Amino acid sequence: MKTLGRSGVGVTELGFGAASLGNLYRAISDGEAAAAVSAAWDRGVRYFDTAPHYGLGLSERRMGTVLRDHPRAEFTLSTKVGRLLVPNPGGENQRDLDNGFDVPAGLRRHWDFSADGIRRSLAESMERLGLDRIDIVLMHDPEESDQPETALTEGYAALHELRAQGVIGAVGVGSKQVEILRRFVTETELDTIMLAGRYTLLEQPALDELLPACEKHGVSVLNVGVFNSGLLAKDWPEDDGHYEYGSAPPKLVERARQIASLCRRYGTSLPHAALVFAGAHPTVASVVVGAGKAAHMLRNADLMAAPPPPAGLWADLVAQGLLRPDAPVPTS
């Protein structure tokens, strides 16, 4: 395990992201959800990430059902704060599809990064999980809320206090926006950030300022969205592939295909190269991948454990302008 910042909280090289357990894009059964988590456990994954946002609490409930069968000292768990779940009168007969989750919309999300809101969110998450401790708490997408400055000041202060009291082990923020993450890294004393889709084989904007700031301030990175919403998840990117939870622009599909072609030339696959690249930067403590099916999790674990692609692949990607020359690459 790698330790997050100065926290003492450890995470495995491969982590399990639980958005799919909240019926992201499609409904899965409780059995499928449990099988996916169990598959991760069987392959040595001991870091699990969830959030109230994922399926309006469904992901947390499903995650807790499986993890409660394992000794609490043997795994690391993170959840998120900033979105309280409150009643949504009249929503019981509707679905939460506008937010991407195929679940009843009897609840709705309410932004709240206040100290009271964060403590309430954390208590409600522990109740849904059925666990008395959460190791890592991440402020979730503060830039999407109407109160990003509250997250940076009052929200962080509340989590800092909970960490000092030993209630939680590590404090962080999760976002796909590089600038808000950079501000948290430089203006607070975070242990970790969860970086979504901004340091991948397809694009590496986090190399400009964010990752150097993480190195300078001793902040660890939980790298998520490393397949760019699925565009890099298949051996050959499809025309109707997803990117940023929407349709992938043709220009990006073509770029991904150029990378895939080089992967084939070197006897590896696009998903393999994408996964191991995402963990090669020295600030990255864990590469967190989602899976709604056990088979998908097993594949990801196998890819992460396999020897990295030949060095020539990375050199050719750089030479063809498909990879930044300052990006660290995996070595055997």
Residues with active-site annotation: 54
Q: What 3-state class would DSSP assign to 163?
A: helix
Helix (H) or strand (E) holding 80: strand 76-81
Instruction: Give the pairing type, strands 76-81 and 242-243.
Output: unpaired
Strand 76-81 versus strand 83-87 pairing type: unpaired
Q: In angstroms, rounded to a whole number, what is the distance separating the alpha carbons of residues 200 and 307? A: 19
| Rounded Cα distance, 332 and 211, in Å | 23
Q: Is 125 exposed, middle or buried (0-12, 13-18, 19+ CB in 10 A)?
A: buried
Rounded Cα gap, residues 99 and 306, in angstroms:
35
Which residues in 63-212 belong to E strands, given as ranges?
76-81, 83-87, 107-111, 134-140, 168-175, 192-196
